[in-house]
């Protein structure tokens, strides 16, 4: 993995590179690929995500999304990445660091998804491990958290493989697919990787 640049929104060169993948901030030009991949993967993704707004896949909503992302990065609130396959530039999925808490916490939350046709090929494992230097060295986080539904076997395996440690059960933690659901909390600390 290599961290390739810092945080210039208009620069579309990769920010993070891993084996067979690269990651950068989403751009308006990603709309077509993003909406196609999300649209075709809807039934695969929906059980694990908040309910999608009715207009979520429209160009107007994507434009608003990009504006929000840009502001989030500027204000050090969140860092959203899209993940691309290096061999052909295909969009694979996304991973976002959100809820950035500075001060005494220096912590953030990690969320991720891949398009259905890209699952079980090791892409998210590679993406998460490639992001960790960005999290710990560039953002200077002390802790990165991830929460998953107890029956999300893929996510649990991915987190354990990536060095996250299970910390416990958070009751009715997030509203997923329209219901407040218990989540297993995982975290990785900078100390685990130094």
Ligand X SMILES: CC(C)(COP(=O)(O)OP(=O)(O)OC[C@H]1O[C@@H](n2cnc3c(N)ncnc32)[C@H](O)[C@@H]1OP(=O)(O)O)[C@@H](O)C(=O)NCCC(=O)NCCS
Count other C-beta atoms under 10 Å from residue 35's C-beta: 16
Binding ligand X (rule: CB under 6 A), the pick from 45, 73, 90, 190 is 45
Look at strands 179-189 and 143-148 and give their pairing. antiparallel
Is the CB of residue 26 less than 8 Å from the CB of residue 69? yes
Q: CA 188 to CA 67: how far, in whole Å?
A: 30
Binding ligand X (rule: CB under 6 A), the pick from 123, 134, 136, 186 is 123
125-154: contacts with ligand X (CB under 6 A): 125, 148, 152-154
Q: Which is nearer to ligand X, 131 or 158 (CB)?
A: 158
Is the CB of residue 111 less than 8 Å from the CB of residue 146? yes
Q: Decide if residue 157 touches ligand X (CB under 6 A).
A: yes
Q: Decide if residue 51 touches ligand X (CB under 6 A).
A: no
Binding ligand X (rule: CB under 6 A), the pick from 54, 104, 120, 179 is 120
72-101: contacts with ligand X (CB under 6 A): none
Q: How far is the CB of 180 from ligand X (least distance, A)?
A: 15
Q: How far is the CB of 59 from ligand X (least distance, A)?
A: 23
Residue 48's alpha-carbon distances to 31, 41, 135, in angstroms, are 22, 12, 24
The closest alpha carbon to 125, from 80, 96, 101, 155, belongs to: 155
Binding ligand X (rule: CB under 6 A), the pick from 122, 129, 133, 138 is 122
Question: In the block, which residue shows the tokens 């990787």?
Answer: 193
Q: Decide if residue 121 touches ligand X (CB under 6 A).
A: yes
Give the binding site for ligand X (CB under 6 A).
45, 48, 112-114, 119-125, 148, 152-155, 157-158, 161
């Amino acid at each position: 993995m290599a961290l390739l640049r810092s945080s210039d929104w208009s620069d579309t060169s990769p920010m993070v590179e891993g084996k067979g993948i690269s990651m950068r901030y989403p751009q308006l030009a990603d709309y077509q690929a993003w909406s196609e991949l999300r649209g075709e993967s809807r039934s695969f993704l929906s059980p694990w995500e908040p309910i999608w707004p009715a207009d979520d896949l429209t160009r107007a909503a994507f434009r608003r999304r990009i504006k929000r992302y840009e502001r989030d990065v500027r204000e050090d609130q969140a860092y959203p990445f899209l993940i691309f396959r290096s061999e052909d530039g295909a969009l694979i999925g996304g991973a976002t660091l959100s809820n950035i808490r500075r001060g005494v916490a220096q912590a953030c939350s990690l969320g991720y998804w891949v398009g259905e046709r890209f699952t079980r090929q090791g892409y998210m494992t590679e993406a998460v491990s490639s992001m960790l230097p960005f999290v710990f060295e560039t953002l200077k986080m002390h802790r990165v958290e991830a929460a998953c539904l107890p029956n999300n076997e893929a996510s649990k395996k991915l987190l354990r493989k990536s060095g996250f440690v299970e910390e416990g059960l958070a009751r009715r933690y997030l509203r997923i697919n329209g219901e407040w659901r218990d989540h297993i909390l995982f975290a990785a600390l900078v100390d685990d990787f130094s």
